[in-house]
Structure 1
Amino acid sequence: MLRLVLVPVFLVLIVRADFVAALVVLVVASLTDLLDGFLARRLGQITRLGQLLDPAADRLYIFAALIGLAAQGLVPWWIVAIIVARDAFLLILGVVLANHGFGPLPVHQLGKVATFALFTGLPVIMLGPAFPAIEAVTAPVGWAITLWGAFLYWWAGVIYAIETVRVIRMPRVARDPRSDTLGSGG
């Protein structure tokens, strides 16, 4: 929940061009995310709500960074459109799955790598305006990681689309009224 509360703070700091403070907020949010995930796995307290909120918070931080950096003229709006379009595409896939009686697909490892790349590349881009002496290094490195992340983000989206088609074409197994569960094929 702390990560979600910090998203608007992060966005305001970027829009105000306070990149050092924005990076501090992002580091705090990232460390709390790592701690939360570690504790949840370690203590066996993984919840469905946590499984939904964690990727939602990731997306919100990515969107906030993109919008703030685009508003500052540090990234072009087309990169914002590419990344937002991929998430809109996944939202459509989620509706298709729901209309066929399925929940969301499990997270693919490539999607995690893409998110990690974006979570790395965008802050590296922010390092330049925060610390101008290193901008000559951080700008190309940040852009390389961010563009690679955007590519992987869409590649994972294509994998999710293929998996969606595969899942909705699978024959459904009738419910077993004694166990109220789906058969192994459903």
Structure 2
Amino acid sequence: MRATRTTIILLTGLLLLTGCSWPTLGPSVQTLAKVEGWRPGLEEDAFAVLEIAYDDATARALWEENVPADLPRREGTPLEAGVFGELGDVDFAEQVVALYSSGQSGSCPGWVRDVDHDGAGTVDVTRAEDMRGGDGCTDDYNAFRVVVALDREDVPDSADLPGVTGTVDGLAVLTLVVGEYPVAP
């Protein structure tokens, strides 16, 4: 019984120290905004494009060029277009901002769940999708882009970008172009 009380006291203290919330567990991707369509002017033959902004000024340009001012504020999972966070939430000492452009099924909205760099020249984006209680998704293609904050350790340094390859969901056939924002068309 004493161990249980001690555990409860320690967890309560932890909650108070963290602002009454549990620490984030799992993948370290924070969705800041989701917008319909690919970035204007971006025409790639790849399945997806990940454009990385390593500094505050580039991130602000990325935001201004991709997030419409009238985009609605939303909370929770980025199932539809909206603003889910702010650039002010990003700690550029530990994080970067990136723009991921790809497509999703009209019946199963998708988002970026995780980004990982293997240190050997490959970046992999893992997607998630909401099947909305069904057991399949329609095969229509709806382009979208998301602005995300990522841990710096999950992407290559900007000097290492030339030659970096990318995959989506670990599948080499789902090619991912990785570059510094803005990737030239």
Shorter-chain TM-score tier: under 0.3
Question: Looking at both structures, which has the greater relative contact order when contacts are Cα pairs under 8 Å and sequence separation is at least 6?
Answer: 2
Higher strand share: 2
The structure with more radius of gyration: 1
